[in-house]
C-alpha cells in the first residue's frame, strides 16, 4: 500500500482525498468546527451588553438558536432537509457566525483562521460527497 510520501503513490491530488480515512478525518474536523462555533457564539453572548440578564440570555440563547437551526436544516439527519444551497446557507450562518463572534471578542486572526478552515472543510466535504468517497454506513 503506497504512503502519501511514496513516489509510486498516485500523483493526482484528488485521488488523495478519495480514501475513507480522509473522509472520516474531514467529518471529525467538521464536528470540531461545529462545537467551536457554538463555544464562540456562547463566549460572544456572555460578553455583549451591560446587564447580567442580557449576558445570560445571549450567552445561552445564541448557541441554542444555532443548535436548533442546525438540527432542523444542516445536521446529517436533519428534521427538514432542504436543497444543498440552503443547507450551505445555514452552515454559513452558524459556522460563519462563530467566526464573527470570535472576532468580536477580540481575536480577529483566529477568526480568519477559523473561517478559512470552515471553507476548506466544507469544500472537501462537498467534493467527497460528489465523488461518492464517503464511508458507507
pLDDT per residue as tens, the chain (137 positions): 455 544 454 555 555 555 678 888 999 999 999 999 999 999 999 999 889 999 999 999 999 999 999 999 998 888 898 998 999 999 999 999 999 999 999 999 999 999 999 999 999 988 887 776 555 54
Q: Answer whether 0.95 is exceeded by the pTM.
A: no
Q: What is the DSSP letter of 134?
A: S
| Residue in the structure block whose three cell numbers are 451591560 | 50
Contacts of 69 (CB under 8 A, 6+ apart): 90, 93, 94
24 grid coordinates: 472520516
DSSP codes joined into one string, 20-57: HHHHHHHHHHHHHHHHHHHHHHHHHHHHSSSSHHHHHH
Amino acid at each position: 500500500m503506497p504512503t502519501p510520501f511514496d513516489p509510486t503513490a498516485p500523483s493526482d491530488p484528488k485521488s488523495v482525498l478519495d480514501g475513507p480515512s480522509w473522509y472520516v478525518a474531514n467529518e471529525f474536523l467538521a464536528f470540531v468546527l461545529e462545537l467551536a462555533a457554538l463555544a464562540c457564539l456562547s463566549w460572544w453572548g456572555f460578553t455583549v451588553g451591560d446587564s447580567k440578564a442580557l449576558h445570560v440570555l445571549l450567552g445561552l440563547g445564541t448557541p441554542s438558536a444555532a443548535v436548533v437551526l442546525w438540527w432542523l436544516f444542516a445536521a446529517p439527519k436533519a428534521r427538514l432537509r432542504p436543497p444543498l444551497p440552503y443547507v450551505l446557507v445555514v452552515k454559513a450562518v452558524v459556522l460563519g457566525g462563530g467566526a464573527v463572534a470570535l472576532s468580536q471578542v477580540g481575536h480577529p486572526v483566529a477568526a480568519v483562521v477559523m473561517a478559512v478552515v470552515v471553507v476548506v472543510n466544507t469544500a472537501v466535504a462537498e467534493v467527497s460527497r460528489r465523488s461518492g468517497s464517503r464511508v458507507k454506513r
